Every structure is written in structure tokens, then in C-alpha cells.
Structure 1
Amino acid sequence: MKSILIRTLSVGIVFTSASLAPQANAQAQTWSGKASYYSGRGRTASGGHVGGHTAAHRTLPFGTKVMVTNLTNGRSTVVTINDRGPFVRGRVIDVSSGAAGVLGMRGRGVAPVRLSTL
């Protein structure tokens, strides 16, 4: 009786995880907030460098691609999360100086943005 129960349980677990994985990956996360930008030397939390189109986010996994749209001027760019932060209240992302240039936010330093994971 024990072996039958274990087999049934194993099949249920495999079936459940197979059916949930594609749905979880298919949904992009979207939210809004303020972005700032930064540049610097040294290593990021992932062991990389700040530069190109990279960004810091508090919780997204390293390597996540995020579309960042400046809500003031409509400009967008894709960044790769490779650092942790920002640690300033109300900010949702810190983008690299290069990404800030594309977004048109270097003059002000902070911009309202919409983020969408890709």
C-alpha cells in the first residue's frame, strides 16, 4: 500500500510542476516608480561592472532583462540586472549612465519610469 501511495504522489508532483512552469515564465512583471542612474568603478553585486545597459534592482534575479520606459518623454531601453539597489525610498531601479543617456534622464538624475520584465 505504501508504494502505491508514493507513486501516485510522485506523478502528481511532476504533473503539477510541468503545468505551472510555462505559465510562470510567460507572464511579464510590470510596475512603475522612479529611476535614478549611477556609474562607478569596481564590481557589482553579481561580480560584473557598471556599464553599457546594466541596472540595479532590489529583488530581480541577476541576468533579468528589463524594458525601462521614461514616462516623461516616452524613451525606452533594455537593461540587464547585474547589481542590487537602489536603496533610496521611492526608487525602483538604478540604471547605468549609458542607459540613462538613452532614456534622456541624465540632466535631472531621476525620472518616473515603467519597468517590464522580458
Structure 2
Amino acid sequence: MEMRTKLMLVGLLAAAILLPLGTANAAQVGHASWYALRSTTASGERMNPNALTAAHRTLPFGTKVRVKNLHNGRSVVVRINDRGPFTGGRVIDLSKAAAAQIGMIGSGTAKVSITPLR
């Protein structure tokens, strides 16, 4: 194999290895809703509407994410402690306190971006 081909293969291999690291922090875009139940969450915690928490279908419990309201630019950092939402088209359910911080209480839903934090 000539040197140029070897260098290209090494570059492609490095890109394939590093790609998941870059996509792990990629923003997810979709609609958020909010809830204020006083029940037990999927993580076993008691749901607290005054805490900055959220439900997500797949992110691990304890993951902190920045949720940005794409309509007004306001954002909040929440901790995932529950599963959901289970309504089509929605990507995250915020606690009432988190929804208030990004200005979506009145509308009930908002288009958001979700970015995991390290």
C-alpha cells in the first residue's frame, strides 16, 4: 500500500472513532411540554414541580441538559429524572419550574433544542 492510501485510511479510521464523541453533545430539536404531578418518577424520586427536572425517553437518569426555547431564546438546565413524554412529537417533559424559566407555562408546549452537558 502506498503512503497516501495509508494516511487516508488512518484519517478515516480516526474520524469514525471520534464521530460518536461529537454527536453525543449534538442538540436534539422537538417540542417540549410540562407537567406538575406529585407522583413517583421512573427513577424512584418523588416528582417535585418546583425542581429543575425533566422526563426524557432515552437519556440516562442524572444527565443534565440545557433546554432552549427556540421562540424566545430563554434556556434552563435540567436534570433527567423521569421517562417520557409519551405523546407523539414531543421530546421532553419539563417540570413546571423549568417550563416557567423558559416562558412556556401559558402555551403548554414550545419548540426547543436539548443539548446534553458534560
TM-score (norm 2): 0.77
CA distance in 1 between partners of 2:89 and 2:23 (Å)? 28
Aligned to 1:112: 111
Deviations 1:33-91 (A, max 9, x none): 00000011121000112231000000000000010000011000000000000000000
Match of 1:33 among 30, 34, 38: 30
Distance 1:27 1:110 in 2: 25
CA distance in 1 between counterparts of 2:39 and 2:28 reads 30
Is the radius of gyration larger for structure 1 or structure 2? Answer: 1
- The code of the aligned residue for 1:99 comes to A
Closer/same/farther in 2, CA of residues 69 and 24 from structure 1, 3 Å limit: same
CA-based RMSD of the aligned residues comes to 1.8
Which residue is 2:100 aligned to? Answer: 101
Paired with 1:39 and 1:111, the residues of 2 have a C-alpha distance of 16
Secondary structure in structure 2 of the residue aligned to 1:99: helix
Q: How many residues align?
A: 98
* Cα distance, 1:36–1:26 mapped onto 2, change above 3 Å: closer
Runs of 4+ more than 6 Å apart:
none
- Report what 1:5 is aligned to: none
- TM-score under structure 1 length normalisation: 0.77
Q: Which whole-Å CA distance do the structure 2 matches of 1:107 and 1:78 have between them?
A: 20
Q: Which residue of 2 aligns with 1:17?
A: none
Amino acid at match of 2:106: G
CA–CA separation in structure 1 for the residues paired with 2:79 and 2:22? 17
Alpha-carbon distance between aligned partners in 2 of 1:61 and 1:100, rounded to the nearest angstrom: 21
C-alpha displacement of 1:25: 8.5
Change (3 A) 1:48 1:25: farther
Structure 1: segments with no counterpart, 5+ residues: 1-19
